[in-house]
Amino acid sequence: MKIEYLSHTADIRMKIEASHLEELFRAGVIGMSNILKDGFCNQNVQFDHKWILEITALDSTCLLIDFLSEVLSASYAEKAVFCEVNFLDFSPHHTIAEIRGKQIQFFDEEIKAVTYHEADVHKNKRDQWVTLVIFDI
Amino acid sequence: MKISKEDIHKIEDYLWEIPKTFRPNMRVPARVLASESLLDAIMEDRSLVQLVNVASLPGIQGASLVMPDVHEGYGFPIGGVAATLYPDGAISPGGIGYDINCGVRLLTSNQKIEEIRNNLDALSKELYIQIPSGMGKGGHIKLSVQEMEEVLLKGAEWAVEKGYGVKEDLAFMESKGRLENADATLVSDMAKKRGADQLGTIGSGNHFVEVDYVEEIYDETTAKAYGLFKGQVVVLIHTGSRGLGHQVATDYIRQIIKAMPNYGIEVPDRELACVPFNSEEGQNYFKAMCAAANYAWCNREVISWEARTAWRNIFGSTVEPLKLMYDVAHNIAKVETHVIDGVQTDVIVHRKGATRAFGPGFEELPDSYKAAGQPVIIPGSMGTCSYVLAGTARSKELTFGSCCHGAGRRLSRTAAKKQVNAPVLKEKLKERGIFVEAGSFKGIAEEAPIAYKDVNMVVETVSDSGIAKKVAKLRPVAVIKG
């Protein structure tokens, strides 16, 4: 998987890429959590929190954005940063997943929301799943 | 889609238009309130493409509009105004934004800057202690389920009832700090959970509490009506509905995207997702938005209580307490009446990064402000200056009674962090007599003055165009940030 942070006037524009759709979702979670707590998921984290979430959406783009929004809400509700995703069920319109993370003292960045703006989950010419995600900061 | 200068027509000084023939799905023209140099700056990001997208909303009236402080957002541009026909025109949560009822208020003192200059360092530190700030930080108040319901219904009144506010403040807030249409049952449990410990907190990003003094008065009569005088120390508060509002917007944008096909609505950007205002989904969102707006007014009232505590701790109880001059929202939707093509028309006015700026005679204003018009508070960037303006009748003619909301961002946060050495900036500001208390150097760098447009140019534009008039200029002396 590949995670890049691109320029945006006021917010954060993230580009994620992966060979499988599930991997793209995992990249989204790691990319977002590494904003909430700088580089947190790149460390060897001992998880002490888990959360189950279920999402149904119109298409894979909405599914990804709604999925990341749920992870973000769980992060604030539990004051935890989530890095690992285990899909119990996955299709382009529906998923049940267990996310695992660790409780923290404070966040490094406050993400207000995961937006649908510019999000478009699709395969590129190299047969990789790719999308942009804009976070409202 | 590219927009070039040739696509934009000058209507009059400070008013530019992209005609509705520019793109087939535009229902109205798109208008920009700006000087030519600001227009050139605005064209550097994708604000105008987003403005054209807004012009396609079902039921939009007159024109989609942006103020001179506009910058690229997500869906709607930040600094945008859109009015849709009541009752069946669109309501779009993206046209209000995730930080529902983000807004500003100004507290005034009886002290002059010369009288307190030696206490500024101590005052800024005490404000930082009293007012919780920073990423996801909780506050002193933990709301029970019942208390949360009351906050969502009563807004700032709740703070007054519980001893965290001043009854006299209520008359000096937009909508008196409470929207009647609020329905707490339409706010999700997750939103309530996120908001339960955040009342009285400013959060992070561009939110702040700032101590300023009145450097210049432009209109003595209006300044006197507002209780402002030269040299006076004032406190400026900028924040919104915190995690509760963010969650309400997230919840309803998701629901409305799913509901749009039922109404045959298609939008060029999913962040513009909308439904008819009078649909079940539209009403549910509007009532939840009103509840979140009430939470924000209550939040700013509690923060004022914390600021008043800090003030008393530094200056003692013999000094006159801080008094609320006014509180305005800049991310909100309201049902208002405006004249469109010569006809009084009820519309749903979406303001996202735009301030209501109604002129003299507006009945909601306290008696002492009726002749002057509604106060409009324009915070500048950290270390520059801020303004108090007065709304005018002209704003109703040009901008659905709206005005700018700040300086407007120019540089990305990443670019600002690359260009700014935060410890050096903090020292330089201190040398200029501005004390900064912040949770991180990152926060200082991201909000450095270089990251913003020149607030003076923005204010000159709104003043020269006639949609607001300058009353006073404020100079900062202490900044408290998350």
Tens digits of per-residue pLDDT, A25-71?
999 999 999 999 999 999 998 999 999 999 999 999 999 999 999 99
Q: Which residue in B1, B267, B270, B274 has the most chain A C-beta atoms within 10 A of its own C-beta, making it the best mutation to test that interface? A: B270
When pLDDT is cut at 50, 70 and 90, the band that residue B34 belongs to is very high
Q: What residue of B is the nearest CA neighbor of A134? A: B74
User: What pLDDT, in 10s, does the model give residues B129-176?
Assistant: 999 987 656 788 999 999 999 999 999 999 999 999 999 999 999 999
Name residue A89's amino acid: D
Q: What is the mean predicted confidence (pLDDT) over B304-325?
A: 96
Residue B223 Cα distances to A65, B174, B329, B374, B435, angstroms: 48, 19, 21, 12, 26
Q: What is the mean predicted confidence (pLDDT) over B8-34?
A: 97
Q: What residue of B is the nearest CA neighbor of A109? A: B135
Written as six digits, the tokens of B328 are 């305005």
- Flag whether B350 is marked binding: no
pLDDT at A88: 97
Q: How many CB pairs under 8 A join A and B?
A: 96
Q: Which residue in A4, A7, A8, A94 has the most chain B C-beta atoms within 10 A of its own C-beta, making it the best mutation to test that interface? A: A8
CB B388 within 8 A of CB B375: yes
Distance from CA of A135 to the nearest CA of B (A): 9
What is the distance between the alpha carbons of residues A36 and A31, in angstroms, rounded to a whole number? 9
What is the distance between the alpha carbons of residues B105 and B210, in angstroms, rounded to a whole number? 11
CB < 8 Å to B194, chain A = 73, 76-77
Name residue B304's amino acid: S
Quick check: B193 pLDDT over 70?
yes
The answer to whether A128 faces chain B, any CB pair under 8 Å, is no
E strands, chain A, in order: 2-6, 12-18, 49-56, 80-91, 94-103, 113-115, 122-123, 129-136
Q: What is the mean predicted confidence (pLDDT) over B316-333?
A: 96
Q: Which residue in B192, B246, B269, B442 has the most chain A C-beta atoms within 10 A of its own C-beta, making it the best mutation to test that interface? A: B246
B74–A117 CB contact, under 8 Å: yes
B190–A119 CB contact, under 8 Å: no
DSSP B171: G
Q: Which sequence positions of B are flagged as catalytic? A: 405
The answer to whether A73 faces chain B, any CB pair under 8 Å, is yes
pLDDT at B411: 85
Rg (CA), chain A: 14
pLDDT at B135: 67
Task: Provide the b/e sequence for B8-36 (b: ≥16 CB within 10 Å).
Answer: beeeeebbbbbebebbeebebbbbbbbbe
When pLDDT is cut at 50, 70 and 90, the band that residue A124 belongs to is very high
A108–B135 CB contact, under 8 Å: yes
Lowest-confidence pick of B109-118, B195-204, B295-304, B411-420: B411-420
pLDDT at B136: 59
> Which has the higher per-residue pLDDT, B344 or B317?
B344
CB < 8 Å to B205, chain A = 110, 112, 137
Q: Which residues pair with A61 in a beta bridge?
A: none
* A52 exposure class (CB count in 10 Å sphere: 0-12, 13-18, 19+): exposed
Average pLDDT, chain B: 95
Q: What is the mean predicted confidence (pLDDT) over B325-329?
A: 98
Q: What is the mean predicted confidence (pLDDT) over B236-241?
A: 97
What is the distance between the alpha carbons of residues B220 and B227, in angstroms, rounded to a whole number? 10
B72–A8 CB contact, under 8 Å: yes
Quick check: A92 pLDDT over 90?
yes
User: What pLDDT, in 10s, does the model give residues B337-394?
Assistant: 999 999 999 999 999 999 999 999 999 999 999 999 999 999 998 889 999 999 999 9
Average pLDDT, chain A: 95
Quick check: A9 pLDDT over 90?
no
pLDDT at B440: 84
pLDDT at B439: 83
B136–A106 CB contact, under 8 Å: yes
Pick the CATH number of B5-410+452-481 from 3.90.1860.10, 3.40.228.10, 3.30.420.40, 3.60.15.10: 3.90.1860.10
User: What pLDDT, in 10s, does the model give residues B254-295?
Assistant: 999 999 999 999 999 999 999 999 999 999 999 999 999 999
Share above pLDDT 70 across residues of chain B, in percent, rounded to a whole number: 99
> How many C-beta neighbours within 10 Å does residue B266 have?
11
All domains in chain A, ordered by first residue:
2-136 (3.55.10.10)
What is the distance between the alpha carbons of residues A27 and B38, in angstroms, rounded to a whole number? 39
User: What pLDDT, in 10s, does the model give residues A79-88?
Assistant: 999 999 999 9
